[in-house]
Chains A and B, each alone.
Chain A
Amino acid sequence: DQQVKQNSPSLSVQEGRISILNCDYTNSMFDYFLWYKKYPAEGPTFLISISSIKDKNEDGRFTVFLNKSAKHLSLHIVPSQPGDSAVYFCAAPTPGRGNQFYFGTGTSLTVIP
């Protein structure tokens, strides 16, 4: 029951360039999405979110884009820094009773100095 998918398990980017991490979802009822960042031996930490009433949300170097018709969202990191190297998960709760919370399988980002 993989309702949130991240098809790229890994991504390498040069420092200073743009990192683009992609996420697709299948449940058209999702109306809110989040990105989490995870370092080794730590739990995920919340990074940025977007509501389905928007198509873009920006927070400093991080921007999330949502394309509802394509059921696709992406996280852009500009400029990428070595400290951004981590695993990034997209996630979505079920609307209403939010006890169901779906994570993607994650994309491991490596930013090369």
Chain B
Amino acid sequence: DTAVSQTPKYLVTQMGNDKSIKCEQNLGHDTMYWYKQDSKKFLKIMFSYNNKELIINETVPNRFSPKSPDKAHLNLHINSLELGDSAVYFCASSQEGGLAVWETQYFGPGTRLLVL
């Protein structure tokens, strides 16, 4: 009974393509996130989103856009893919409120994106 799921697990694509990664959580959490883990293993937050507010890490290119059809889903759209976008992308969700946000953060298994 997966708490946070992502599809696809692996994604290989050509430069310049547009792709999406889907994320779903069945925990009833209000806040969802996207993280990127690059080749140097840095895990960096890209977005946090709830039904009130989208918070974007200022270093994220505007080719990346989160889209939330409902509270349980936060999909990541990437336009004009570049070689440097190759990474593992993790979706996460958490409860709202204070420091519990981070302790209740559940991560998906990751999507391994390779741009050729």
A residues apposed to B, CB below 8 Å: 2, 32, 34, 41-46, 49, 51, 89, 91, 93, 97-103, 105-106
Contacts and interface: CB of A to CB of B under 8 A. Distances in A.
Contacts of A2: 42
A46 B41 CA distance: 18
17 contacts: A34-B102, A43-B4, A43-B90, A43-B92, A43-B106, A44-B107, A46-B103, A46-B105, A49-B103, A89-B43, A91-B43, A98-B102, A100-B57, A101-B45, A102-B44, A103-B44, A105-B40
Given A46-B104, A99-B48, 18 more contacts: A2-B42, A32-B102, A41-B110, A42-B110, A43-B106, A43-B107, A43-B109, A46-B102, A46-B105, A89-B43, A91-B43, A93-B99, A98-B101, A99-B57, A100-B45, A102-B44, A103-B42, A106-B43
A103 B110 CA distance: 16
Interface of B: 4, 40-45, 48, 55, 57, 90, 92, 99, 101-110
